[in-house]
Amino acid sequence: MTRTGAARTRPAARRAAGLVAALAATLAMGGCGVTDAVVGIHAAPAEDRSVAAVDQDNAQRIAARVLGAAQSAQAKTGTDAATALEAALTGAALAVGQAAVATHSASATAPDPLTNPGAPKVLAVSQGRTWPRAILAATLDETANRQYLHVLVSSSPTDPFRLAYTVPMHAGASIPSLGTLADGAPLVPASDATGLVAAPQDLLAEYAGALAYPKAQSAPTIPPTDPFARSLLANAQSQTASLGKLGSLAEKQSVVADDTISFRLADGGAVTFGLLKRVDTITLAKSAKELKLPSAYARLSGKKTVTKSVTVVSLEPVVLVIPTSGTATAVGGDEQLVSVAGH
């Protein structure tokens, strides 16, 4: 009897145990123990802050917008031009743009790279999520078969990108790889010489010294053999020859320090955009009675002739490639007349 009773109770216990196990499994799978994984919920991925500040599509869109706005601003005149320029340009480009608008009717010494900028191609975006941020883009003027480099800068989170540099590249010049757009290119502080033959600000100062006339300073790190430097020297020599014994020409360059922007290249070097200010001074000899100014200069200075001297101020945005060893090279440069003063 006892054996029979035990035999009859075991199946019921097993059924109950089985059901409890099934219940437990059910609870674990889809009941009170519903896990995030079962319904596809996971933790949000962490933000990677060491990538390009702006993705490629947006950088392209921003570059097209900013270059279009800059082109539109430079086509305006008067107060409209001033407002539009300040909205679209900043730094070196603003200084050059304002000078271009102010001297437009008097001179056309500088080319207008934004007249027909073409579709911009983004070459690099600054790396990281801090400010300032910068975008390096290039356009090709197919008419003149000339390539232009543009730097767009956003100085703070609420400050939209504005054009900081537009510089024509020298014929045949090129810029080494800046790495992938997605990774971004770190910005190099102007005083940082890490891994470079010279800090950007020091190299710009050396280049400026090398462009001085008639006494150029030694520039072993960046010999002034590029087309822009050679053109400046040729013009200075031509002017000196024209003046003859009636006067002398002196040219002095200085770096506008606040406007330097540098991107780190993939090979560890850097490409630097800097702004130089050139002051040309023509001093008349005592034997000269007066010097008749060209009409463009006369309009800017308000004088048709000068008896002592004439001072011409120009701005020169330049692009230098700084290697990790060897000598640096200038790959782009331009000049824009700013003012003329006669005495």
Partner 1 sequence: MSRTAAKVVGVVLALLGLVLTGAGSWFAAHLGGTGTATFAAHPGSTAVLVVGPSVLDRVDGPVRVTATGTKGTAVWVGLAAPSDATAVLGSAERDTVVGVSIRDWRAVTHHSGSGAAQGLTTADVWRTEASGTGTATLTVRQADAPQTLVVAGSGGTLQTVTLSWVHKAWFVQAIVTVLVGLALLAGGALLLWPRADDDDDDGASAGASRLGVAA
Q: Interface with partner 1 by CB under 8 A: which residues? A: 1-2, 4-6, 8-9, 12-13, 15-16, 19-20, 22-23, 26-27, 29-31, 38-47, 49, 54-55, 58, 62, 129, 131, 154, 157-161
- Residue closer to partner 1 by CB (options 36, 142) is 36
- Residue closer to partner 1 by CB (options 261, 340) is 261
CB of 182 to partner 1, least distance (A): 12
Q: How far apart are CA 118 and CA 325, in angstroms?
A: 35
CB of 2 to partner 1, least distance (A): 6
CB of 128 to partner 1, least distance (A): 10
- Residue closer to partner 1 by CB (options 19, 285) is 19
CB of 152 to partner 1, least distance (A): 9
CB of 23 to partner 1, least distance (A): 6
Q: How far apart, in Å, are the Cα atoms of 102 and each of 96, 108, 158?
A: 10, 11, 29
What would the two tokens of residue 79 be? Answer: 């107060």
Parallel, antiparallel or unpaired: strands 329-333 and 291-292: unpaired
Q: For the chain, how long is the longest CA-to-CA vector? A: 146
Instruction: Output b/e per residue, 227-252; b: 16+ Cβ within 10 A.
Output: bbbeebbeebeebbeebeeebebbbe
CB of 60 to partner 1, least distance (A): 12
Helix pair 91-103, 78-88: axis angle to 10 deg: 160
SS3 70: helix
- Residue closer to partner 1 by CB (options 67, 211) is 67
What would the two tokens of residue 11 be? Answer: 């199946």
- Residue closer to partner 1 by CB (options 145, 158) is 158
- Residue closer to partner 1 by CB (options 10, 215) is 10
